[in-house]
Chains A and B, each alone.
Chain A
Amino acid sequence: MIKCKNLTKIYRNGDVETIALGGVSFTIKKGEFVSIIGPSGSGKSTLMHILGALDNPTDGKYFLDGQEVSRLNENQLADLRREKIGFVFQSFNLLKRTTVLRNVMLPLIYSGISIKEREKMAREALKYAGMEEGKFNNLSNQLSGGQMQRVAIARALINKPAILLADEPTGNLDTKTSRLVMEYFKELHDRGHTIIIITHEDEVADYAERIISIRDGKIESDRINKKFKYLRKKDAD
């Protein structure tokens, strides 16, 4: 599903070169639940931007679903983001003073799908994300943090994307809500979604079955999360 070969990203600011990513290679299979963890400045955000087709690597190759993303132009990248990638941002990034439904429909505005069909898809995605139907026409700024995140997830899922990318999804939530949201990600994983979560918190990373930890632009470790099975077992009890 995802294949990265020697991904490198160098930022140039005048004469100063900053190596954000120094040759990262890994593969993520369909249906995997992966956490990318690292302290700030480690290059994990840069990696997420490249995986999310928001940014192109300076060097190296990135294949998504067999397509070489690193060679696409701006419009092709936009189309790819719309069709294959679902984003969940840290600060939700919902449109204020806009209803829940319209927020969820946002990625599809100019996709050529009729408004009726879009609304149907948005309702399905919202139900799938566990949003109460009574809140569909509420304005996004009237929701609680957890509800906002559900709307953001519904927006990410509306196109049935190949991968779900979450950037610090619990960064703005309290502990209790964080736990609920992470449980929900796990549920999505159980339903077969490919999920990548970028975080700096071990607690959040521990929900994934595989943890890639990044430091100074390189992969420090790439391991199966032992606690993952334990957590599931505990759930089963």
Chain B
Amino acid sequence: MLIDLLRETVWSLAGNKARSSLTILGIVIGIASVITMVSIGQGAQASIENSIQSIGSNLIIIYPGAGRNEGPVRSSRGSAKTLTMEDAEAVKNQIVGLKGVSPEIANRYQVRAKGQNTNTQVTGTTPSYTTVRNIKISIGTFFSEQQAKSSAKVAVLGPTTRDDLFGENANPVGSTVSINNVEFKVIGVTESKGGSGFNNPDDAIYIPILTAGNFLAGESYLSSISVATEKQSAMDSLQEEITNLLLKRHKINDIASADFNLMNQTDIISTASSITGTFTILLSSIAGISLLVGGIGIMNMMLTTVTERTREIGLRKAVGIRKIYINLQFLAEAVVLTFIGGGIGVVLGWMASLGATQFFNINTEISISSILMAFGVSAVVGVVFGFYPARRASNLSPIEALRYE
């Protein structure tokens, strides 16, 4: 019986190639577009989260506050000269539960090497920066505590800066770069963190903080202090402790007039996730619309063939085929169509996402849930609209079905 049913299904579908392939096409488009859309959306979300994580984890950054002048004019936030090396030392020595503290003096300078030049972010810091900011070295070394204390003129390049100055994937260790006309010896290159464009973490140079203060900035005020905590759960309480310590050191009673700001990574992540959340909603609605359109396509194909098939159903009934077999056959046809279409759609959607990664450099992430959802919805639509009208037709008396025009 089952083999008869399958044979009849295959004959019927193969006998109407145009109809069958159009139905399959509708399902393929619906499923493939949903999978591609969702994979692009999730890829974007993942890459945003990644780049935030790459800054370092459990990170609190202390920035100087706005300059405090007499009168109503405030200078811009972060421009004040309020944070010192001593502040950083105090945080490091007096607060318990920190993984590392790194003071930073950062500025943009013109950098030259072998006739190439670029404008990049030069950060003066201490070796603990690697722990705090999660920096890994790919060639050479980061500068040592010794080099930091002796204000050695050594520099560690970010991979993008290395590419700009020495050519892609060159080994610049031992060469010399000139930062703001001061010569530095290159001792290492960091690993790429990924990212591009504005604020690229790979476009950077790291030098000892004393060197930056003495030879480049000409003063020792810090542009920021990065603090990494041991535990994520302790971030809030540690943030409060650091605030109190600095208020005490700066002899300020009122937190509202503090001359520094603390920002922690959780804030950044929550801002970013609200952005990616919007992004996900946008992409999901596009995916939902394609699924709807695909579903309507399937529905249309299934419904428009009913006229022709109503007579066929009438004939089948008239020649003595029981209703149950007619229903089963139409169900089998709908299932076969949706599964073939679904299979092709999944493969095609998969390939489209891989293609987007390959050719347009878009991050994609294929999720099983989107595949299941797309497949599930089209299967349900296909089966319901393939089976239901046929079932209704098989309930007609054979005479009515045969007369159906």
> What count of chain B residues pass the 8 Å CB interface test?
26
| A95-B312 in contact (CB<8A) | yes
Mark B382-405 against chain A: 1 for CB-CB distance below 8 A, else 0.
Answer: 000000000000000111001000
- Indicate whether A55 reaches chain B with its CB closer than 8 angstroms: yes
Pairs A–B under 8 Å by Cβ, sample size 16: A54-B399, A78-B321, A82-B320, A83-B320, A85-B320, A93-B314, A93-B315, A93-B318, A98-B11, A106-B316, A107-B320, A109-B321, A110-B321, A110-B322, A115-B4, A155-B319
Interface pair A110/B4, CB less than 8 Å apart: yes
> Which B residues between 1 and 37 are near A, CB-CB below 8 angstroms?
1, 4-5, 7-8, 11, 15-16
A155 to B315, CA, bound (A): 11
- A232 interface residue, CB < 8 Å from B? no
Q: A81 to B314: give the CA distance in the assembly, Å.
A: 13
- Which single residue of chain A is at the shortest CB-CB distance from B314? A93
Nearest 7 interchain pairs by C-beta: A82-B320, A81-B320, A107-B319, A97-B15, A110-B325, A93-B315, A78-B322
Task: Say yes or no for A49: interface residue by CB 8 A criterion.
Answer: yes
> Contacts A54-B397, A55-B397: A106 and B319 contacting too (C-beta < 8 A)?
yes
**Residue among A83, A85, A95 having the largest count of chain B Cβ atoms under 10 Å:** A95
A sample of 19 more A-B contacts (CB under 8 A), given A78-B323, A80-B320, A155-B319, is A49-B399, A55-B397, A55-B399, A75-B323, A78-B321, A78-B322, A79-B320, A82-B319, A82-B321, A85-B320, A87-B318, A89-B402, A93-B402, A95-B315, A96-B15, A96-B308, A97-B16, A98-B15, A109-B325
On chain A, the residues within 8 Å of B314 by CB distance are 93
B residues with a Cβ closer than 8 A to A are 1, 4-5, 7-8, 11, 15-16, 308, 311-312, 314-323, 325, 397-399, 402
A74 interface residue (CB < 8 Å to B): yes
Q: Would you give the shortest CB distance from B248 to chain A, in whole angstroms?
A: 90
**Minimum Cβ distance to chain A for residue B400 (Å):** 10
Is A102 at the interface (CB under 8 A from chain B)?
Answer: yes
Q: Please, which residues of chain A bring their CB within 8 A of the CB of B11?
A: 98, 102
